[in-house]
């Protein structure tokens, strides 16, 4: 099966002349294919905040390219003012969204290049920043491919798989994480039946996951989030595959709001629940899920977005957390590019970084 319609798209890249980051605006999908060319820190911040570019690894890739593009335009040619400008932009972009660790992880790598090469001319540092941003992207491609291979060993031909939010190529590069085993298996002739939670309130499951799987020719059925229980009860789901935005050292995993509910349902019905993500999403400095900052978003995303008219009175209070944390006790395994981690996660995750 040819899945290149979804895995072959460069949805985050440097422009040919290297002066802009080009992104596929994910807020326009599935109805329009719109590419944006970003050059200013403000529009880059906005692209992350508004989810034009989204998904933990993808935000990291974007941040790498963004810092290169910004740094290559600084007027400063002396190291000290160049570094000051760089750190200010880095801090600014880092403040756009708090939960996905890949953002700060990628920004930290870019800063590491600047700090480690302080004796070199600024023009050379800029070239090194470009190389690092490309390396972050290429690493992600390799990590997603390895995650897909490992994940594929957890399911068999004919299985039903439920996923939540979007952890496909659009959220990463090439195969994606949670969708990786599905797409790779499909390529190899496996027949999976996928249930995609629509993922309220921003509908990544409807707008992005069902789009990607449909385009790849995978059997996908879109369901509302509150239908996950019935499809599990019907015996249609043999495994849950979800992505992650930050995994704590004890295996607690933050992912799109609603993920922990899926894990609780899966436990009830005896269905294995797998979290898939690169080691760049594992934050060993974060002891437990309680230490993960959860992004709170605009209540209008619940009340107004996607509706012709508001669906609640303006004075009605709204709580709109973008992520929740799935307790490690509900997670059957965490699949990384370095292998499959099983409980106890304090040990199996630590072993990844030895």
Site for ligand MRU in 244-283 (CB under 6 A): 244-245, 255-256
Site for ligand MRU in 159-198 (CB under 6 A): 165, 167, 171-172, 177
Regarding 52 and contact with ligand MRU (CB under 6 A), the answer is no
Residue from 41, 44, 56, 66 binding ligand MRU (CB under 6 A): 56
Q: Which is nearer to ligand MRU, 114 or 205 (by Cβ)? A: 205
Q: Which is nearer to ligand MRU, 125 or 182 (by Cβ)? A: 182
Let me know the angle formed at the C-alpha of 264 by 213 and 146, rounded to the nearest 5 degrees. 45
Q: Smallest distance from the beta carbon of 19 to ligand MRU, in angstroms? A: 26
Q: Which is nearer to ligand MRU, 204 or 332 (by Cβ)? A: 204
Provide the phi-psi class of 189: left if phi over 0, else alpha when psi is between -120 and 50, else beta: left
CA-based torsion, 48, 51, 57, 62: positive or negative: negative
Catalytic annotation present for 245: yes
φ and ψ of 242, to 5 deg: -130, 160
Residue from 3, 12, 57, 65 binding ligand MRU (CB under 6 A): 57
Helices 101-116, 56-71: axis angle to 10 degrees equals 30
Residues 6+ apart with CB under 8 A from 262: 162, 164, 197, 228, 240, 242, 273
Choose one: 38-46, 54-62, 69-77, 227-235; the region binding ligand MRU (CB under 6 A). Answer: 54-62
How far is residue 216's CA from residue 218's CA, in Å, rounded to a whole number?
Answer: 6
Regarding 100 and contact with ligand MRU (CB under 6 A), the answer is yes
Residues 6+ apart with CB under 8 A from 184: 145, 148, 149, 151, 152, 175
For residues 260-283, one letter each, b for 16 or more C-beta atoms within 10 angstroms of the residue's C-beta and e for the rest, the string is bbbbebbbeeebbbbbbbbbbbbb
3-class SS of residue 241: strand
Q: Smallest distance from the beta carbon of 234 to ligand MRU, in angstroms? A: 24
How far is residue 132's CA from residue 137's CA, in Å, rounded to a whole number?
Answer: 9
> What Å distances lie between residue 208 and 167, 179, 319, CA to CA?
9, 11, 24
Residue from 29, 71, 322, 333 binding ligand MRU (CB under 6 A): 322
Residue written as token pair 């690493």: 139
The count of chain residues that interact with ligand MRU, using the rule CB under 6 A, is 18
Q: Smallest distance from the beta carbon of 72 to ligand MRU, in angstroms? A: 27
Regarding 55 and contact with ligand MRU (CB under 6 A), the answer is yes
Q: Which is nearer to ligand MRU, 56 or 335 (by Cβ)? A: 56
Which member of 245, 252, 283, 324 is catalytic? 245
Q: Smallest distance from the beta carbon of 274 to ligand MRU, in angstroms? A: 13
Residue from 94, 133, 173, 204 binding ligand MRU (CB under 6 A): 204
| Minimal CB distance residue for ligand MRU | 243
Q: Smallest distance from the beta carbon of 254 to ligand MRU, in angstroms? A: 8
Question: Which residues of this chain interact with ligand MRU, rule CB under 6 A?
Answer: 51, 54-57, 100, 165, 167, 171-172, 177, 204, 243-245, 255-256, 322
Q: What are the catalytic residues?
A: 245
């Amino acid at each position: 099966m040819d899945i290149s319609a979804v895995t072959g798209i460069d949805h985050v890249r440097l422009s040919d002349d290297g002066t802009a980051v080009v992104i596929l605006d994910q807020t326009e999908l599935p109805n329009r294919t719109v590419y944006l060319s970003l050059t200013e820190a403000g529009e880059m911040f906005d692209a992350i905040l508004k989810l034009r570019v989204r998904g933990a690894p993808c935000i990291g890739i974007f941040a790498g390219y963004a810092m290169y593009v910004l740094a290559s335009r600084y007027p400063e040619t002396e190291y000290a003012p160049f570094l000051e400008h760089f750190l200010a932009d880095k801090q600014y972009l880092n403040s756009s969204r708090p939960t996905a660790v890949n953002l700060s992880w990628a920004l930290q790598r870019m800063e590491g290049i600047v700090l480690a090469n302080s004796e070199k001319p600024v023009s050379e540092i800029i070239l090194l920043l470009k190389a690092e941003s490309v390396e972050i992207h290429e690493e992600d491609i390799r990590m997603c491919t390895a995650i897909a291979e490992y994940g594929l060993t957890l399911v068999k031909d004919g299985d039903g798989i439920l996923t939540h939010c979007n952890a496909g190529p659009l959220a990463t590069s090439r195969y994606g994480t949670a969708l990786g085993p599905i797409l790779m298996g499909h390529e190899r002739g496996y027949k999976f039946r996928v249930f995609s939670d629509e993922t309220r309130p921003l509908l990544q499951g409807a707008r992005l996951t069902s789009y990607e799987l449909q385009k790849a020719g995978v059997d996908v059925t879109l369901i509302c989030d509150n239908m996950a229980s019935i499809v599990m009860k019907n015996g249609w789901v043999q495994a849950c595959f979800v992505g992650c935005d930050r995994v704590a050292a004890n295996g607690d995993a933050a992912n799109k709001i609603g993920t922990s509910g899926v894990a609780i349902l899966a436990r009830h019905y005896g269905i294995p629940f797998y979290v898939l993500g690169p080691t760049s999403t594992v934050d060993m400095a974060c002891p437990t899920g309680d230490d993960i900052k959860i992004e709170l978003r605009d209540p209008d995303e619940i009340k107004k977005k996607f509706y012709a008219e508001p669906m609640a009175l303006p004075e009605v209070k709204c709580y709109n957390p973008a992520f929740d944390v799935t307790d490690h006790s509900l997670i059957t395994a965490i699949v990384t590019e370095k292998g499959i981690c099983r409980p106890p996660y304090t040990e199996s995750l630590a072993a990844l970084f030895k």
